[in-house]
C-alpha cells in the first residue's frame, strides 16, 4: 500500500492504524477500542510493549478486558500518570479520532442512534478478560508445555530486549599467553583438587576491563547511572537438553571476584558450575550480579550476540578457541615489511553486548581493549 495516498487523521496529520485499515478495506475504520482479529488480538504493538516495560505498567490491568492489540502508547502513558498521581490505574476505551473526522452519513429514520456519554459519566464496568486462545497444533505436531525455567528465560530476555537498547562489538584476541600459562600450572592446580579451565582467566580479565571502564559495572536508573564498587560476576551455565533439544540456562554469581586470585576464581567456577548442573544453588548465589560472562565457545560457537541480564549494562560472550592464520608484522602493522610472516595462533572472538544508554562504541571498545590486553599479556 502506498502510504502517500492515505489521509492521516492522527495528531499533526499522522497516519493511524485505523487510517490504513480503512483505506485498505475501502470501508470505515475499526470501532473504538477494537483490536486485531484472531490470534493477534492479544498481541500488543511493539511501541505499546516497550512503553509498558519502561514505565512498569501492567498491560492486562490497563486493558481491563479489552484486546491488548487495541491499546495505544497514550493509554500506557495515561495509566502511568494516574499511578504516579496515586489514582486508580484506569483507561477509558480509546476515542476513535478517525471516525470523528470522517463524518458518517446520517442514519436512517428507523435506525438507533448511539450518542457518546459525557466525560463525567461513570464508565461501564469492564468485561472480564477473555481466556488466551488455545495453541493451534497441526496434525502430527506436538505441543510441549513450557517448563518454569523456560518461562523465566523467555520473560527475562523479552524484558531485557524492551528495556535496554542493545549494541554489540566484536573483538578478536590471541589466547597463546593464557594457554601457555594454563599448560604450566594445571598440574599444580589439580594437585590442590582444582580443575584449571579458561573461564577463571576470562573472569579475571573482565574485572580488569571493569576497573578500566567503571561505567561497564553499573546500573541505569531514571535519576542517573549507579556505578557498582564490587565486582560480582555472573557466569552463564547451560543445563542439559531434553529429548526435544530444549535446555535451560542458569547464571550463578561469583561475589567479590575482584578480591580473588586465579586459584580462588578457579575454585569458585568449579564449585558453582557443578552445583548449578545438579540444582543445588541457593537463591542468594543467583542474585546480585553486576556483570555477566557467557562462554558459549564451550559448545563450539564462534560468535553470538548475548542478551544483557537486567539491570546490568553489559555481558561478554566468548567464542571457541581455534587456530587461525595470523599475520605477524615486523614493522608497521599496515605497511608491507620484509620480515612479515604467517603464523597459526589460538584465537577467539569476543562479543560484548552493552546498554547503549550507558556505554557507546568508544567506551565499549575501551572495555574490550582492556580485556584483550589482560589476556594477551598474561604472565
**Rounded distance between C-alpha atoms, residue 215 and residue 275, angstroms:** 31
CA distance 61 to 112: 33
Q: What percent of the chain has pLDDT over 90?
A: 46
Question: What gap in Å lies between CA 260 and CA 291, rounded to an integer?
Answer: 16
pLDDT, tens only, 217-251: 999 999 999 999 999 999 998 888 888 888 878 89
Tell me, what's the pLDDT at 331?
Answer: 83
194 burial type by CB count under 10 A (0-12 exposed, 13-18 middle, 19+ buried)? buried
Stated as kind and residue range, the H or E segment containing 171 is: strand 166-174
> Cell 567464542, residue?
319
Which helix (H) or strand (E) covers residue 54, if one does? helix 46-55
Is pTM beyond 0.85? Reply is: no
Would you place residue 105 in the very low, low, confident or very high pLDDT band (cuts 50, 70, 90)? very low
Contact 98, 32 (CB under 8 A): no
Evaluate whether 272 touches 252 at the Cβ level (below 8 Å). Answer: yes
* C-alpha 3, offset from chain centre: 32
Q: Average pLDDT in the 311-319 region?
A: 97
Show which residues are catalytic: 356, 360
Residues 188-194, mean pLDDT to the nearest whole number? 96
pLDDT at 132: 62
Query: Is the CATH number of domain 163-376 3.10.25.10?
Result: no
Residue 246: helix, strand or coil by DSSP? coil
Lowest mean pLDDT among 58-62, 185-189, 263-267, 284-288: 58-62
C-alpha cell at position 220 = 541505569
The residue among 177 and 101 whose pLDDT is bigger is 177
* SS3 (DSSP) at 226: strand
Highest mean pLDDT among 19-28, 40-49, 276-285: 276-285
CA angle 150, 154, 160 (to 5 degrees): 145
What are the residue ranges of CATH 3.30.559.10 in the chain?
Answer: 163-376
In this predicted structure, what is the pLDDT of residue 373? 98
How far is Cα 117 from Cα 14, in angstroms, rounded to an integer? 27
Is there a cis peptide before residue 134, judged by omega within 30 degrees of 0?
Answer: no
Q: Predicted confidence band at 164 (pLDDT cuts at 50, 70, 90)?
A: very high
- The grid coordinates listed for 271 are 564449585
Amino acid at each position: 500500500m502506498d502510504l502517500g495516498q492515505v489521509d492521516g487523521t492522527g495528531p499533526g496529520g499522522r497516519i493511524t492504524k485505523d487510517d490504513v485499515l480503512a483505506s485498505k478495506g475501502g470501508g470505515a475504520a475499526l470501532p473504538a477500542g477494537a483490536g486485531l482479529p484472531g490470534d493477534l488480538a492479544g498481541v500488543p504493538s511493539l511501541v505499546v510493549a516497550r512503553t509498558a516495560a519502561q514505565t512498569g505498567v501492567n498491560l492486562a490491568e490497563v486493558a481491563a478486558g479489552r484486546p491488548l492489540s487495541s491499546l495505544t502508547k497514550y493509554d500506557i502513558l495515561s495509566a502511568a500518570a494516574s499511578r504516579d498521581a496515586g489514582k486508580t490505574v484506569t483507561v477509558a476505551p480509546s476515542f476513535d479520532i478517525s471516525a470523528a473526522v470522517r463524518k458518517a452519513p446520517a442514519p436512517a429514520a428507523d435506525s438507533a442512534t448511539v450518542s457518546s456519554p459525557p466525560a463525567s459519566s461513570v464508565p461501564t464496568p469492564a468485561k472480564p478478560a477473555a481466556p488466551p486462545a488455545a495453541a493451534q497444533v497441526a496434525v502430527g505436531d506436538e505441543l510441549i508445555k513450557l517448563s518454569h525455567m523456560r518461562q523465566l528465560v523467555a520473560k527475562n530476555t523479552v524484558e531485557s530486549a524492551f528495556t535496554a537498547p542493545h549494541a554489540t562489538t566484536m573483538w578478536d584476541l590471541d589466547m597463546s599467553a593464557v594457554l601457555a600459562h594454563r599448560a604450566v600450572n594445571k598440574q599444580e592446580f589439580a594437585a590442590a583438587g582444582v580443575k584449571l579451565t579458561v573461564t577463571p582467566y576470562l573472569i579475571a580479565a573482565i574485572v580488569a576491563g571493569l576497573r578500566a571502564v567503571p561505567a561497564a559495572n553499573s546500573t541505569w536508573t531514571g535519576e542517573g547511572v549507579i556505578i557498582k564498587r564490587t565486582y560480582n560476576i555472573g557466569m552463564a551455565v547451560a543445563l542439559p537438553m531434553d529429548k526435544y533439544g530444549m535446555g535451560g540456562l542458569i547464571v550463578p554469581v561469583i561475589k567479590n571476584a575482584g578480591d580473588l586470585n586465579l586459584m580462588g576464581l578457579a575454585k569458585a567456577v568449579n564449585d558453582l558450575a557443578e552445583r548449578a548442573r545438579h540444582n543445588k544453588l541457593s537463591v542468594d548465589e543467583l542474585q546480585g550480579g553486576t556483570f555477566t560472562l557467557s562462554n558459549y565457545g564451550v559448545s563450539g560457537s564462534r560468535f553470538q550476540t548475548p542478551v544483557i541480564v537486567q539491570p546490568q549494562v553489559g555481558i561478554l560472550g566468548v567464542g571457541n578457541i581455534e587456530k587461525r592464520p595470523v599475520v605477524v608484522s615486523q614493522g608497521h602493522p599496515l605497511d608491507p615489511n620484509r620480515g612479515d610472516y604467517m603464523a597459526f595462533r589460538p584465537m577467539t572472538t569476543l562479543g560484548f553486548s552493552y546498554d547503549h544508554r550507558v556505554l557507546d562504541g568508544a567506551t565499549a571498545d575501551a572495555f574490550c581493549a582492556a580485556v584483550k590486553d589482560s589476556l594477551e599479556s598474561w604472565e
